[in-house]
Structure 1
Amino acid sequence: MPDRDLIGPWLRRFLTEYIVSERNLARNTRASYRDTFKLLLPFASRKVRKPIERLAMQDLTSALVLKFLAHLEQERGCSVRTRNQRLAAIRAFARFVGSRDPAQVEWCSHIRAIASKKAMLPPVGWLSREEMEAMLAVPDRKNRRGQSEYALLLFLYNTGARVSEVTQLKVRDLTLDRDRGGHDLATLHGKGGKIRQCPLWSETERVLAEQIIGRAPEAPVFLSRLGHAYTRFGVYRLVERCAADVPRLAGRAVTPHVIRHTTACHLVLAGVDINTIRAWLGHVSISTTNIYAEIDLTLKANAVALCEVGSPGPKRRWKEDKDLMAFLNGL
């Protein structure tokens, strides 16, 4: 069988050339695509009774892909959103193959015709200002470890950074220039290599300056108790542990992403423009940021009050408004 008919050579090109060199996708996206095929290929091998290295493009039929997606939901217990995420990776692979081999165009069209399932978006969880301040008060700042944990939590709240952006933060990414008349900024490296800068509060600048004393520019900003850079798991564990020590947060799932939502919601409540919040959080589309404008009941109540039925109208007719008439006559 020619190599161009086998899945293996195409998949190697897709994962090592296309998504890395041509698309420059984020590291987490690459890992997600890789994991999709780590699940799909053994499943397909069992169904068609072929070794993985002998699987052909035509073995990966739309019917088999649908069975795989059902397997994810029913046997592995994955959510609809995870199912759709795996399907997106398979579609991207089909599009890649179809764009480079005309003989595979028909196969590509069958795979790309598989529809995504409608998934209900989960409600956005966020913390009130009092709850966030209670979490910040948990670390014992009398010792070095507590100071480091407080700095990390405060940085998450200040910037609304993703976990990956926090774990990748280096000393060289901090610009602490307020004393020299400049601005305190953190340069965050986000999804797809996108870079943005977030202003830092004076308190955040103070605790970060203490953390990075004597460190090289390439050193990580946040270190665990063992002196190593924080991992994703370490950041999640810290947030969960601090939330567990706040009685009013009992039974609630608090993650670093909840703190990111909290930052956005507090910016909305402070009257910050939604497009500014989009840039602050590093969203590509403002439609992603719009969810934060819809979740606060106070904003909704104020909007309803503006158009309340039966509200008293003006006491005078417009013709009796002498100032208005004078204005119109003077035009």
Structure 2
Amino acid sequence: MAKVNLSIVALVVTVLLLAETWAQNPRKRMAPPKPPKAQCCDEVRSLKVQVANLTSILEELSRKQETDLMSIVRQIMELDKQNRQQEARVTEAESKYSEINNRVEIMQLQTLQSAATQTSTDAIYDCSSLYSKNYRISGEYKLPKDDFLGTPELNVFCDMDTNGGGWTLIQRRKIGLTSFNRDWKQYKNGFGSIRGDFWLGNEHIFRLTRQPSTLRIEMEDWEGQTRYAEYGFFTVGNELNSYKLFLANYSGNAGDSLRYHNNTNFSTIDKDNDKCVDDCAARRRGGYWYNCCTDSNLNGVFYRYGEHTKSSDGITWYGWHGSNYSLKKVEMKVRPMGFQP
């Protein structure tokens, strides 16, 4: 009886051990049977087919995307072309408007000028008038007061020799002792010595050029070479128009370096009338018809021996010596258009 009980106990222990081992390894207990090799091959082939199909779809999508992108690029290029054409048309229209406006202003000035020419044949109002009365020696003259023109008595320097004579000087630079970095009032009334360096005065220049005039600019460098620029049409507006410059019909051998300043107002250190963000009168240190800023600066700083700083504030004429060479001598002179010696 005791042996039977021992056998039962041993059997129970064995069962318990097997149960514990089974509980600790459930994956082995639940592992599915391995599929046969043929089934694996079929699945691989199916996956390859799916991959090939997806690759084909992706390639097709990529080609379509590339086509769409090229189409968008072409559209952008076409829009850019149209935009440039539109900008060109706007620029052309603005240029034509400016030209028309310029012509209107010139016509208005010429209307005023025609009234100014209705003076007595005996009137003396500039050096050409003196020349016509047989004053043929270059030098200083006194123009009498003219109530009709509203001009006061004025000392002027007349050039009776150059190219037929009859020229009234409105500016001279040759000594370098007179500063041209002046305010509006001084440029309006004039300053300097009539036999040395001077500016005749914007108000006087306006009155001299109320009849259509010719401007001649004569220059000399520090090597003794000379050049000139002549403008067949030259006139200056009144103070209400900021002494605006109008000129045309260049001739000469110095280069056309005043055309850039056409249709610009006069600026000084205390009146910034230029067409630039910068204050050109302050940067160029003079009074002038500054645009943005200069192709010439005949009222700039007098630098000896030509070369000067790179600030372009010297007495410059870009068409001859560029922006960093200050000229030795300059004369600006006017006489009526059509003057006959």
Fold conserved (TM > 0.5)? Answer: no
Greater share of helix residues, 1 or 2?
A: 1
Task: Provide TM-score, normalisation by structure 2.
Answer: 0.19
Greater share of strand residues, 1 or 2?
A: 2
Task: Provide TM-score, normalisation by structure 1.
Answer: 0.19
Q: Based on CA coordinates, which of the two structures has the bigger radius of gyration?
A: 2
